[in-house]
A = this chain, B = another copy of it.
Amino acid sequence: MNESAAGSVPPVLPGKEEAILQAAGRVFGRRGYHGSSIADVAAEAGVATGTIYLYFRRKEDLLIRLFQRSLQEYLESSRPLLAQAAAGEERLTRLVELHLEFFARDPDRARVFQIHLREVAPVLRDGITPTLREYVAIIDEVLRDGQAAGEFDAGLDLRLARHLLFGGLNEVVVSWLHADGRFELRDCAPACAAMLGRAFRRS
């Protein structure tokens, strides 16, 4: 009835699984993972409760797949854009911009990633870590390339630097969610990038 031949036109044309995932993103974003029922998601997706279980084994899977799909999409689109920027601060700046842009584009996603995913994460470790590790690798690469280019301090503890970058930016995102539209997330990129650039810079 739907799904159908996707033909050439790129990604969209939901398909029921995609529709459910998007519905879950909206519902979890609004009410939180624990505050949402499968029935809520089904209603938002316009399908029956049971239908969810044709595509997802457990409620958790909705969260895991939501995370995976979103992050993979992000990683794929980011990689070429990052490569275009010169190694070092320029590329770091690009990374910061992309990271913030990713969440600015979809507040519900931001809420799920930054807020609701956290408590559940320990349980879902296996579903989440592999995908996350890819992003970790990218960040580390940006930092290492910056070192190789002579812009970043060679003595940097890469793991700590990455946490600072990742955690710092995410906190900015969270503050933006709490601020509820009172400032533009994208506008924070330059100042964030500047501070992080100095943090990593060769002294």
Contact = CB atoms under 8 A, between A and B. Distances in A.
Interface size class of A (residues with CB under 8 A): 35 or more
Interface in A1-37: 32-35
Nearest to A164: B168
Nearest to A160: B191
Contacts of A50: none
A164 B163 contact: no
A195 interface: yes
Interface of A is mostly: helix
Nearest to A119: B119
Nearest to A30: B122
A175 interface: yes
Interface string A187-203: 01001100110111101
Nearest to A171: B167
A171 B172 contact: no
A48 to B, nearest CB: 15
A14 to B, nearest CB: 25
Contacts of A201: 198
